[in-house]
Structure 1
Amino acid sequence: MTDLLDSMHHVAIEVRDIAESVEWYRSEFRCEVAYQDATWAFLKFANIHLALVLPGHHPPHVAFTSAKATTHPGLKPHRDGTRSVYISDLSGNSVELMDPTSL
């Protein structure tokens, strides 16, 4: 028996305007809005989520679901009920580790 692989949860990209960007993605692609406020939105696609973030409010990043997040000392709760921690890869890219028990 093999362990389950970690999964990519979402990618976060910077946009100039949350509401306009949500409408654009909804008109161009079949997706659902899972969460939206003034500084970010979370879009659900068939195989991945896309976070739209305002510059300076949330970092652009890739997010993985990982059991490592559950016991990480930097784990923090978010407004949408999830818990995660941000780390950097060897090249300085922002990586979010999502606590799978909070999804």
Structure 2
Amino acid sequence: MDSSSSLDSLHHIAISVQNIAEAAEWYRETFRCEITYQDATWAMLKFGNVSLALVLPEQHPPHIGFVTPAAHKYGTLKRHRDGTESIYISDPSGNVVELMSPESCGQA
């Protein structure tokens, strides 16, 4: 058995922007990436190795998203508009961490 298959995955990093559409277009024009989801409050950009979420500070916290089977251990997962299920927690330094269910990310 490959021991790397038991490691959790970094799914995305979410950064704050002032304008979702403008930021999504800038990243798409500047880098080779694909916009996989976009609405007025957030967008998800897929790169070759990880995704980048663009969020409005008043709508979503900047955070790091991990796919882990341990997500269920932290409480009830919330279903999001893009079909993923997750829960937000904070690390010991107060950084927001999103724990995503592997099943909802197609990684089961």
Q: Which residue of 2 aligns with 1:24?
A: 26
Aligned with 2:15 (options 13, 16, 27): 13
Give the gaps of 5 or more residues in structure 2: none
Displacement of 1:71: 4.7
The answer as to 2:74 corresponding to 1:64 is no
Alpha-carbon displacement from aligned partner over 1:34-74 (angstroms, at most 9, x marks no partner): 00000000000000000000111000000110001135423
Q: How many residues align?
A: 103
Alignment TM-score, normalising by the size of structure 2: 0.91
Let me know the Cα RMSD of the aligned residues: 1.1
Which amino acid letter does the alignment assign opposite residue 85 of structure 1? I
Q: Output aligned runs, 1:46-57, within 5 Å.
A: 46-57=48-59
Runs of 4+ in 1 over 3 A off after TM superposition: none
Give the gaps of 5 or more residues in structure 1: none
CA distance in 2 between counterparts of 1:70 and 1:36 reads 27
Alignment TM-score, normalising by the size of structure 1: 0.95
Which amino acid letter does the alignment assign opposite residue 48 of structure 2? A
Aligned with 2:82 (options 75, 80, 86): 80
1:76–1:83: 8 Å Cα contact kept in structure 2?
Answer: yes
1:81–1:102: 8 Å Cα contact kept in structure 2?
Answer: yes
